[in-house]
């Protein structure tokens, strides 16, 4: 029961982190270098045209020319951006708020197929994790039936492993697509510097919890099967000695019962009734 609880808690963490990461737009964050916009009445700093528009008009009427002496990086301004699997948003330097675009449209044509595979894998990753969570929840609801609970745990572990593998492949494919898009994407979007954001780390943390949950659930199933096999060996040793049963227990159910869990439950001998001296080589 303790292992089942730990596996369920880890699965819940994995589902929550993966859902948050999939719906967020902070997989990659950074800054973009763009040309300074034209100055307006509302924007008088970090722009290229002199802010005094009236003076500009008078100078042009007298035939005097105005020049912009900014060179190198002084001609550019930097705006922040953050991108997810679905969309990419950047700071609106000419107004307030953010401007968002579809990240699929920003990716090069050669990378759009890989990005779609990454999206499908991410959705399947969350779906299989959720299904694994439902199976573990049913295991708790059917705590009075250990046979069904053990089978549900085994299936939940299998789905968790498949989900973790899909998630790992999806994260790696997205990283590749973003690297290519950062170097070959549209000129007005290419980042000047960037790094992975908190959503990307949430996605990999979800993968870690997912695999830990599957290992914990599978350990519970394996432990019960190994105990049943060990009990079969002990019962076989008693049969070779001419004994039909262990002290206080019948071994016939262990040797003939097709379900190892119920057989184990009906034929588990008390620890103080086993002959540990003669059966020590059979015990783990």
Q: Is residue 49 part of a domain?
A: no
> What is d(CA 166, CA 269) in angstroms, rounded to the nearest whole number?
43
Strand order across the 28-35 sheet: 98-102, 87-91, 76-83, 28-35, 193-196
Three-class SS of residue 83?
strand
Domain contains 205: yes
Instruction: Name every residue whose Cβ is closer than 8 Å to that of residue 280 and which is 6 or more positions away in sequence.
Output: none
pLDDT at 56: 47
The verdict on residue 32 lying in a domain is no
> Quick check: is 237 in a domain?
no
Domain that holds residue 210: 3-24+109-221
Q: Is residue 44 part of a domain?
A: no
pLDDT of residue 58: 43
Within a domain: 132: yes
Separation of alpha carbons 253 and 258, rounded Å: 9
Looking at residue 185, the DSSP 8-state letter turns out to be: S
Please give the tally of structural domains in the chain: 1
Measured distance CA(198)–CA(103) in Å, rounded: 18
Q: Give the CATH number for residue 124.
A: 1.20.140
What are the Cα distances from residue 249, in Å, to 170, 242, 267? Answer: 52, 15, 6
User: Tens of pLDDT along the chain (284 residues)?
Assistant: 577 788 889 999 999 999 999 999 999 999 988 766 656 655 555 565 554 544 444 444 444 445 455 555 566 677 889 999 989 998 887 767 788 999 999 999 999 999 999 999 999 999 999 999 998 888 777 666 666 777 787 888 899 999 999 999 999 999 999 999 999 988 888 898 999 999 999 999 999 999 999 888 887 767 777 776 777 777 777 666 655 554 544 454 444 344 444 444 444 444 444 444 333 334 33
pTM of structure: 0.69
The verdict on residue 84 lying in a domain is no
Structural domain contains residue 267: no
* Predicted local confidence at residue 202, as pLDDT: 95
């Amino acid at each position: 029961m303790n292992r089942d609880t730990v596996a369920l808690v880890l699965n819940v963490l994995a589902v929550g982190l993966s859902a948050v990461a999939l719906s967020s737009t902070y997989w990659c964050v950074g800054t973009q270098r763009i040309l300074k916009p034209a100055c307006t009445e509302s924007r008088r700093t970090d722009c290229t045209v002199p802010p005094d528009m009236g003076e500009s008009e008078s100078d042009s009427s007298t035939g005097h020319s105005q020049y912009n002496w900014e060179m190198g990086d002084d001609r550019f301004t930097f705006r922040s951006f953050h991108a997810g699997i679905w969309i990419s948003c950047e700071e609106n330097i000419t107004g307030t708020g953010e401007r968002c675009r579809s990240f699929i449209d920003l990716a090069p044509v050669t990378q759009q197929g890989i990005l779609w595979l990454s999206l499908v894998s991410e959705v399947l990753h969350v779906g299989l994790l959720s299904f694994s969570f439902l199976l573990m929840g049913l295991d708790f609801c059917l705590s009075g039936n250990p046979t069904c609970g053990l089978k549900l745990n085994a299936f939940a572990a299998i789905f968790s492993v498949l989900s973790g593998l899909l998630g790992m492949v999806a994260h790696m494919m997205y990283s590749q697509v973003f690297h290519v898009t950062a170097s070959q994407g549209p000129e007005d979007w290419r980042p000047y510097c960037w790094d992975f954001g908190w959503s990307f780390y949430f996605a990999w943390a979800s993968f870690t919890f997912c695999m830990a949950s599957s290992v914990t659930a599978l350990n519970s199933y394996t432990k019960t099967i190994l105990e049943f096999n060990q009990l079969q060996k002990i019962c076989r040793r008693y049969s070779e000695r001419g004994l039909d049963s262990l002290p206080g227990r019948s071994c016939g159910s262990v040797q003939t019962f097709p379900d190892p869990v119920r057989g184990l439950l009906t034929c588990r001998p008390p620890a103080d009734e086993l002959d540990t001296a003669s059966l020590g080589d059979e015990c783990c």
